[in-house]
Amino acid sequence: QCLYQTCVSLGITNVLFLFNSFLQLNILPSFGFLFDIDGVLVRGKTPIPAAKTAFQKLVNSQGQFLVPVVFVTNAGNCLRQKKADQLSHLLGVPVKQVMMSHSPLRMFKRYHEKCVLVSGQGPLLDIARDLGFCQPITIETLREKHPLLDVVDHDRRPNVLVSVYFCFKILSVVLFGEPVRWETNLQLIIDVLLTSGYPGNPYHRENYPHIPVLACNMDLMWVAEAQSPRFGHGTFMVCLENIYKKITGKDLKYEVLMGKPSKLTYQYAEYLIRAQAAERQWKQPIQTLYAVGDNLMTDVYGANLYNRYLEENSRKGSKSRIQAKVAASAAAAHCRSVLVCTGVYNPHAEVPLDTRESITETVFHGHRDFRFDPGLVEPDHIVPDVDAAVDLVFQLENFAPN
């Protein structure tokens, strides 16, 4: 009040507007950030310059985040700790703030005690066990047990006909990410699906529906150091789905699809945001999530799809099982999509609105099980980079951290 009267006595113009604006600034966050990593913070192993500037605005002098932040990546071929380590050149990121495409598998406890076949690359057994799986088996182990199954590469064919008895029935398949030897993984996964988990047996067409398949990361392409996007796990899944369809005449079914743009991924990310806010004892309810990404078909589509779900959920007055695990407050009201131009997105390309002309084949890079909707690939905001995204959100939220 004294400051206001002093300004008036000095004849400072627009003082009322400025003073009211100051009073309306928020010092506690009512929002959270969901940051993509590849194409937003880094390109391959190279940091994007704007990321360091953005991070400086997100932490205080003690290195603590000023708002709840989760780093949501569709990568699935490494442990969370490795992703956190990759971000350490920008900022020390706690592993609990990193969410991989496979992170929600921690909730699927009904599969944790079963024998599961895992596909991908990297430390697959370590990843699976870290998520809670007790009996994971890799493609390479299965190949060693059944050496006659993998014969595309002539140099890897066995010299003598041998058969190793494999006593366990495989009860589900978990696709973590794109493998290295696609022909081997495709062949052996098809063998497992068409034999109900006994890959050494003959195919039986009546084995449908097949054993459960849980898939992580549906990205058709992703951006690294190359000038053009590279094949992602979504491309591998397209191959697997079409081979299965060609052989059986039926669609490959997924028990669950994880990674952006799935609703499950955003539910789990919101759970982590709320847990973070509760740990910091921020009493302000988290009302809005800002998903910052570089891909229209994953980041923007997923955020908009989740926003639609939140609005419908709000009207119905219900809560999901995941959200109910966090007792801090009710679910968010909105999830806003913020698109940056430092990765996959090409600001000069246009998305046709006529869905009748094979858009699903020529434009839509999303997964087969996600319906193309032009409204879902329209971002709420487009900014040059992640630093501009942080500035925009702080402005929208009138956020001035103490």
- Give the DSSP letter string of 48-86: PHHHHHHHHHHB-TTS-BSS-EEEE----SS-HHHHHHH
Taking a C-beta distance cutoff of 8 angstroms, is the pair 210, 253 a contact? Answer: yes
Q: Which residues pair with 65 in a beta bridge?
A: 59
From CA 392, how far away is CA 383, in angstroms rounded?
8
The torsion angles phi and psi of 69, rounded to 5 degrees, stand at: -135, 135
Confidence (pLDDT) at 402: 66
From CA 208, how far away is CA 210, in angstroms rounded?
5
> Same CATH fold, 107-257 and 31-101+261-317+329-346+360-397?
yes
Give the 3-state DSSP-derived string for 133-162, with helices as H, strands as E and coil as C: CCEEEEHHHHHHHCCCCCCCCHHHCCCCCC
What residue ranges do the domains of the chain occupy?
31-101+261-317+329-346+360-397, 107-257
CA neighbor of 233 nearest in space, from 298, 314, 322: 298
Confidence (pLDDT) at 177: 96
Q: Is 132 left (phi over 0), alpha (psi -120 to 50) or beta?
A: left
The CATH classification number of 107-257 equals: 3.40.50.1000
From CA 65, how far away is CA 58, in angstroms rounded?
6
From CA 72, how far away is CA 70, in angstroms rounded?
6
**pTM higher than 0.85:** no
The CATH classification number of 31-101+261-317+329-346+360-397 equals: 3.40.50.1000
* pLDDT per residue of the chain (402 residues) written in tens, 0 to 9: 444 455 455 555 454 444 444 445 678 899 999 999 989 998 877 889 999 999 999 999 888 899 999 999 998 888 998 888 888 766 677 888 999 999 999 999 999 999 999 999 999 999 999 999 999 999 999 999 998 899 998 888 887 766 565 667 999 999 999 999 999 999 999 999 999 999 989 998 778 999 999 999 998 888 778 888 889 999 999 999 999 999 999 999 999 999 999 999 999 999 999 999 999 999 889 999 999 999 888 899 999 999 999 998 877 765 555 544 433 344 899 999 999 999 888 777 655 555 444 344 446 788 999 888 888 999 999 999 999 999 999 999 999 876
Taking a C-beta distance cutoff of 8 angstroms, is the pair 103, 74 a contact? Answer: no
Q: Which residues pair with 386 in a beta bridge?
A: none
From CA 96, how far away is CA 23, in angstroms rounded?
34
